[in-house]
Amino acid sequence: MDADMLKNLTDPAVLFFFLGVVIGLIRSNLEIPAPIAKFLSLYLLMALGFKGGQALSEA
């Protein structure tokens, strides 16, 4: 597998997207407690911001 492809597949935003798709496909009634949902949202926002900042600094 190409190194860039593997790097993209291990990105937190992509992993959370695929997790959401899998949960939707199996029709799970998963309920995430509010504090955990808030933590995951902040984690994703920080991961996206960090990745964008790195790309901007390299441009």
Predicted local distance difference test score (pLDDT) of residue 4: 80
Q: What is the pLDDT of residues 29-47, one digit of tens each?
A: 888 899 999 998 998 899 8
Predicted local distance difference test score (pLDDT) of residue 1: 63
- Domain tally for the chain? 1
Q: What is the C-alpha to C-alpha distance for residues 38 and 3, in angstroms, rounded to an integer?
A: 32
Q: What is the pLDDT of residues 3-26, one digit of tens each?
A: 888 887 788 778 888 988 998 899
* Residue span of the structural domain in which 8 resides: 3-58
Predicted local distance difference test score (pLDDT) of residue 25: 92
Signed CA dihedral, 4, 5, 10, 13: sign only:
positive
Please spell the DSSP secondary structure of 1-59, one letter per residue.
--HHHHHHHT-HHHHHHHHHHHHHHTT------HHHHHHHHHHHHHHHHHHHHHHHHH-
Q: Stretch 48-58: mean pLDDT, rounded?
A: 89
